[in-house]
Chains A and B, each alone.
Chain A
Amino acid sequence: MKKEFFVDRHALPILSVIVVCTLPHFFNISMWAVIAILHMWGFTVAAAYFSWRLPGRMTRLILVGIFFLIAMATNEGFTIEAFVSLLALMICLKVLDIRNKGNRMTTVILCYFLIVGTLFFDDSIYATTYMLISVLFTTAVLIHVNQPGHRILGPLKLSALLMVQALPLMILLFMLFPRIEGGGLGRAPIQAAQSGFSDRMGFGDIANMAQNREVAFRVEFDGDIPQQDQLYWRGVVLWDFDGHTWRRGGTQRGPSPRRSATSGVVNYTLTLEPHNEHWLITLDLPMRISLPRSWLYDDFSYYRWREITQRVSYTGISYPDSIDVVRGSLGKDGVNLPPEINPRARALAVGWYEQSEDTRDYINKALAYFREQPFLYTLNPPPLPAGADGAVPGRPENLVDVFLFESRKGFCEHYATAFAFLMRAAGVPARVVVGYLGGVRNLYGEYLVVRQSQAHAWCEVWVDGKGWIRVDPTAAVAPDRLSGDIIGSVPDSELIGLMAYFRGTPLEPFVEPIAGYLDFINSRWNKWVMGYSAFEQVDLFSRFGIDLESGAGPLKALMISLMILASMALAASIILLRRQKPSQDQPALSWIEFCQKLGRVGLERNPGQGPIDYQRFVLRQRPEMGRQMHEIVDLYVQLRYGRSAGDKEVLSLQRMVKKFQPKQFS
C-alpha cells in the first residue's frame, strides 16, 4: 500500500487541491464535520506514510453512512451547510481510491463542486479571488491527472492560460445570458445569513447585535450626505406588545399611507445585504423605491414579496422631514397593552398625563424622566428581571417596571419599549420602529457603510393634528448616539470593522485607510458585478438599441448574442489553430514518401545513400525515370541544402511526389 500511494504521483496534488477547496468551508460547516474531515485527511496521509491497509469496500460503505449522519445531524437538517459537509466528506473517501484515472478525474471534478459551495456563503471580492485561485489549482491538477510526468509548474501555467483565454467568453456570457428578475424557486436556508433583526423585538435583541460588525447595507446619496441625526433607517414597525416582546402583528392595515407635504427630498441607492427576512431598509420616511414586487405598508415600512436571501440593490426617494399623517384604521392599535402588568409604570404615566397640558408636554415629561434619573446607556444591559424590588414575584411580565425603577441600564430597545409603554399607558398611541441609525462614511467613495452594530429602535407617537412624530428616547439618555459615534456613547465598546483589531495600537492610523479602501473596492464589486441583474441587462441592451421588454426584443438580443459568440469562436479558432508555416520538415516528409514509393518497386534506398547517390543508383537500373527523378531530386536538394526557398517550392515538391507513381519493373 505504501508503494501504491507514494508511487502514485497524483496523490499529493489531488490531496492538496482538496484541502484548498475545503478550507473556506471550515467557517461554514459544523465543528463535527470539520473534525471528521481533518481525521480523514490525517488518516490518508498517515496511511500513506506508514503503509496502512486502505479501508475496503465494506468499511467505506459504513463510513458513508456515518458521514451522512454527521452532515445532516450537525448542520440542522437539509441545509446547504449539510450538503457541503457531506460533499467534502465524500471527497475525503474518494481520495482513498484514486488508483485509476477515472476516479482521479471524478475526484477533481467534484472539487469544482466544492468551490461552488463557497459562493453561497460569501460573494465578496475576497471570496471571488479565492474562488479564482481554487479554480486555477483545480484545473492545474486536472491537467496533471491527464499528463505524464511530475511537473506541476507546467500545468499551473497552462491552467492560468486557459483561464485567461476563457475570460472573454466568461464576460460575454455573463452579460448576455438572460437573467430572470428575482430568480426561480428560491433557495435552501443558509444559517450564516441570519444576521440582522426580525420583525419581533425583545429585551436584549438589539444589544446582541451591537457586537456584530457585519455590514447591513451600503448607501450612496445623489447629493450631499444628510446629517447623522437625520439618518434614521426605517426597517420594521412594531405594534403589538405582550410584556416581553414587540411584534409586528398583522401586515396590511388600513388605508394607503399619506405623509405631510414637505420639502427636502433625498435620493439614494441602497445595497442591502441578505438577512432572510422580508423587510427592506429605507431612509425615514420613504416615498418610493425602485425594487419590483415590494410594497409600502401604511406605516411606511417596505416589504418584499419574499425573503431577501441575496444582496439587493435599489434606489429610493425619501423625505426626511415628512410625517406619517394616517392614524390607522384599527382604533385600538397603538394603545393596546396587556392588562395589569407594570403597575408602577402605569401609575407614573397616568400621574404625568394628568399634569400635562397636551401630548407634547406629556412626551417631554417622559423624556425628562429618562434624562434626569440615573439611566445608563450600555451595550451589556443586565438581564431583566434582576432583583425585582417592586415587581411581584413570579410575575416577570413587569419588565418595564424593573427597568424603569430598578436596573435603569439598557440599550435602545429598553428605552423605546419603556417609552412606548408609558405613552400607551396614558392612552397616547405609540409604536416602535426598528432600523438603523447613522452610518460611517467611506474615505474613498462617497458612500455610507451601515453595520449591524448600528441597529437601533425608536418610537413614533401620535400627536393629534400632527401625525406620527418620531421620538427617540435613547437620545435623551445618550445624546452622543445620535451623532453616530457609538464609541463615544458606549464605554468599552468595540470599534467598527477591521479597525477594532488595531485600536490603540501604533498601526491604527495606517490600518484605517486600508480598511476603508478594501471596503470601497468591495462595494464597487458588489455594485457593478454582483449587482448586475435583469434590470441592468435591460439597460445594457437598450444602449445598443434593443428593447428587451418589447415583443421582438429578446429574439433580437438572442440573435445578436449568438452572432457575437459565433464570431468569438471563429476568432478563437483562428488564433489558437493558426496553421504554422508549412513545417520545415515538409520537404523531408516528401522525400521519405518518395523513397518509400521507389522502395515498393524494389529500389530501396540504402540508409547511407544521399539523394544524389540514390538518384544515380536508381537511374542505373531504371533509366527511363530520368526526367521525373531529376525534377524531384533537384528540388529536394535545393530545398534541403540550398538557399532557403519559399512555401511555393515546398508545396510543388509535395505535389510532384504525390503524382509520382513508379511502375514495377517487368
Chain B
Amino acid sequence: MSSFSLPIQRHIFNRILARGRIALPVSLRHNRIYVFPSRHGFVFFTLLMAILFGSINHNNNLGFIFVFLLCGIGLVSIFYTYRNISGLVLLSVKAPPVFAGQNAQFEISLNASGRSHQALSIYFADGKPMTVDHLPARGKMVVSVPHETVARGMLAPRQLYVSTTYPLGLFRAWSVLFVDASCLVYPKPIAGPMITARAWDQSESAGDSGGEGVDDFAGLFAYQPGDPLQRVSWKSYSRGQGLLTKKFEGQVGKTVYFDLEAVGGPDVEFRISRICHMILSAEAMHLSYGLKLGKRILEPGQGAAHKRQCLRALALVGQ
C-alpha cells in the first residue's frame, strides 16, 4: 500500500515534515486528512470515461445513466472514506526497548470517534501495515505497529500513516503523523567470552579470574536472551521443557566488572555489542556486575532494573 506514493503525496509529506513532530493525543481532522484516488480508483474512472465516450458515440441513454450512477457512487464513497478515519484519536504511543535488528513495536492506543471505523491500516513509512478490522464507536484499541531498527540509540520513528480505502477501495484517505515518540534500541548482542576488567573500586579485586567457572552445578534457570548457547540444557529442551540454562554455583553472587576499553574489537560498536552480550550473560547467571563506559561508571548491581539501566547507558553511548 505504501509502495504506491505519488509526487503529490511526497509534497504533502514534506509539508508535514516542516511542521515538526506532534504530541499526542491527536485527533484526525480535516486539516490532517488527505484523500486521493487509489490505483484501482484510477482504473475505475478511466473505465467510466471509456463507457462515457461509448455512450456519447452511440447516444445510448442507458449508458449515460450507468456512467453517471457509477460516477455518483464513486464520488459519494469519498465522503465515506474520509469519514472512516476522521475523528479517530491517537491517544498515546509507547514502545518497549528492543535490541538492534529486532522490530520495535510501537503500541498505539486508538480511540474511536462517535462512529465506528473499519479496515484501518496503520504503518510507518516502508513498514509492514497493521490492520484494524473494526473499531466500534467510542471503542478503544491498542495496535502494535512494527518499525525496523538498525542501530542502537534512541529511535525516533519515521512518519506514521493511518490510512483507509474503505468502503470501495477507489479512494484512499490517509493522515501522515510525525508522532513525538521514541523507542530505546539496545545494542545488538554479539556472543563471545566474558571479558572482565579489574575492579575500579580497589577494595574489591575478585573479578579478574574470569567468569567461566566450572564450579558445582547450581540448577536450571529459564533461558534469557544472551545466555551462552553451550550452557543451554538441550536435554531438557528435547523433553519439551522449553529453553533452560545451566547455572553453576561458583558464578552466583560473584561480582564482575565490564569496561568498554578493556574489550578488544575492530571498532567501538563491536565492543558495545560484546559488552551488551556480557551484561545479559551476567544477569542470566545472577552475577553482580558493574559497568565502565569511558568516564561514566555504573556501580555493580543486579536485577532487572539494573540491567535496564546498564543497557540504556550502553545504548546511548556517544549520543
Interface membership of A143, Cβ < 8 A: yes
Given contacts A162-B76, A174-B65, contact A180 B40 (CB under 8 A): no
User: Smallest distance from the beta carbon of B62 to chain A beta carbons, Å?
Assistant: 4
Interface membership of A572, Cβ < 8 A: yes
Contact residues in B for A573 (Cβ distance below 8 Å): 79
- Contact, CB under 8 Å: B62 / A139: no
Given contacts A105-B40, A106-B43, A116-B66, contact A182 B59 (CB under 8 A): yes
- Contact, CB under 8 Å: A127 / B59: no
Interface membership of A596, Cβ < 8 A: yes
User: Smallest distance from the beta carbon of A359 to chain B beta carbons, Å?
Assistant: 47
- Contact, CB under 8 Å: B58 / A120: yes
Given contacts A109-B43, A109-B47, A163-B73, contact A174 B58 (CB under 8 A): no
Stretch in A255-263, A364-372, A424-432, A575-583 with 4+ CB within 8 Å of B: A575-583
Interface residues in B124-173 by Cβ distance below 8 A to A read: 131, 133-134, 138, 165-169
- Contact, CB under 8 Å: B61 / A532: yes
- Contact, CB under 8 Å: A128 / B65: yes
- Contact, CB under 8 Å: B118 / A147: yes
Stretch in B84-92, B274-282, B307-315 with 4+ CB within 8 Å of A: B84-92
Interface membership of B270, Cβ < 8 A: no
User: Smallest distance from the beta carbon of A485 to chain B beta carbons, Å?
Assistant: 35
Given contacts A170-B69, A173-B68, contact A119 B119 (CB under 8 A): no
Interface membership of B241, Cβ < 8 A: no
Given contacts A187-B57, A583-B113, A592-B91, contact A109 B66 (CB under 8 A): no
Complex Cα distance, B63 from A113, in Å, reads: 11
Of the candidates B61, B82, B115, B168, the one whose C-beta lies within 8 Å of that of A530 is B61
Total contacting residues, chain A, CB less than 8 A: 65
- Contact, CB under 8 Å: A585 / B138: yes
Interface membership of A102, Cβ < 8 A: yes
Contact residues in B for A113 (Cβ distance below 8 Å): 47, 51
Complex Cα distance, B80 from A572, in Å, reads: 11
- Contact, CB under 8 Å: B68 / A187: no
User: Smallest distance from the beta carbon of A142 to chain B beta carbons, Å?
Assistant: 5
Chain B residue nearest in CB terms to A184: B57
- Contact, CB under 8 Å: A572 / B25: no
- Contact, CB under 8 Å: A148 / B119: yes
Interface membership of B36, Cβ < 8 A: no
Of the candidates B70, B71, B83, the one whose C-beta lies within 8 Å of that of A577 is B83
- Contact, CB under 8 Å: B65 / A135: no
Interface residues in A102-126 by Cβ distance below 8 A to B read: 102, 105-106, 109, 112-113, 115-116, 119-120, 123
- Contact, CB under 8 Å: B40 / A184: no
Of the candidates A149, A169, A177, the one whose C-beta lies within 8 Å of that of B72 is A169
Interface membership of A603, Cβ < 8 A: no
Given contacts A105-B169, A589-B27, contact A166 B79 (CB under 8 A): no
Interface membership of A199, Cβ < 8 A: no
Contact residues in B for A106 (Cβ distance below 8 Å): 40, 43
- Contact, CB under 8 Å: B62 / A183: no
Interface membership of A400, Cβ < 8 A: no
Complex Cα distance, B62 from A116, in Å, reads: 9
Given contacts A109-B44, A583-B113, A589-B25, contact A187 B73 (CB under 8 A): no
Of the candidates A105, A119, A148, A592, the one whose C-beta lies within 8 Å of that of B133 is A148
Complex Cα distance, B119 from A529, in Å, reads: 39
**Interface residues of B: mostly helix, strand, loop or mixed?**
helix
Complex Cα distance, B167 from A478, in Å, reads: 66
Interface membership of A483, Cβ < 8 A: no
- Contact, CB under 8 Å: A119 / B62: yes
Interface membership of A146, Cβ < 8 A: yes
User: Smallest distance from the beta carbon of B172 to chain A beta carbons, Å?
Assistant: 11
- Contact, CB under 8 Å: A148 / B131: yes
- Contact, CB under 8 Å: A128 / B73: no
- Contact, CB under 8 Å: B70 / A135: yes
Of the candidates A105, A131, A147, A169, the one whose C-beta lies within 8 Å of that of B62 is A131
- Contact, CB under 8 Å: B56 / A180: yes
Contact residues in A for B39 (Cβ distance below 8 Å): 102
Of the candidates B43, B62, B89, B113, the one whose C-beta lies within 8 Å of that of A128 is B62
Complex Cα distance, B113 from A317, in Å, reads: 66
Contact residues in A for B62 (Cβ distance below 8 Å): 119, 123, 127-128, 131, 530
- Contact, CB under 8 Å: A115 / B66: yes
Given contacts A119-B60, A120-B60, A187-B57, contact A589 B167 (CB under 8 A): no
Contact residues in B for A155 (Cβ distance below 8 Å): 167
Contact residues in B for A101 (Cβ distance below 8 Å): 169
- Contact, CB under 8 Å: A146 / B169: yes
Interface membership of B233, Cβ < 8 A: no
Interface membership of A593, Cβ < 8 A: yes
Given contacts A148-B119, A170-B65, A596-B24, contact A139 B60 (CB under 8 A): no
Contact residues in B for A102 (Cβ distance below 8 Å): 39-40
Chain A residue nearest in CB terms to B109: A592
Complex Cα distance, B25 from A536, in Å, reads: 57
Complex Cα distance, B89 from A155, in Å, reads: 25
Interface residues in B166-196 by Cβ distance below 8 A to A read: 166-169
Contact residues in B for A530 (Cβ distance below 8 Å): 61-62
User: Smallest distance from the beta carbon of B84 to chain A beta carbons, Å?
Assistant: 10
Given contacts A146-B165, A186-B57, A585-B111, contact A139 B73 (CB under 8 A): yes
Given contacts A572-B76, A580-B114, contact A158 B167 (CB under 8 A): yes
Instruction: Please give the residue numbers on chain A whose beta carbons come within 8 Å of chain B beta carbons, in ascending order.
Output: 101-102, 105-106, 109, 112-113, 115-116, 119-120, 123, 127-128, 131-132, 135, 139, 142-143, 145-149, 155, 158, 162-163, 165-170, 173-174, 177, 179-180, 182-187, 309-310, 529-533, 572-573, 576-577, 580, 583-585, 589, 592-593, 596
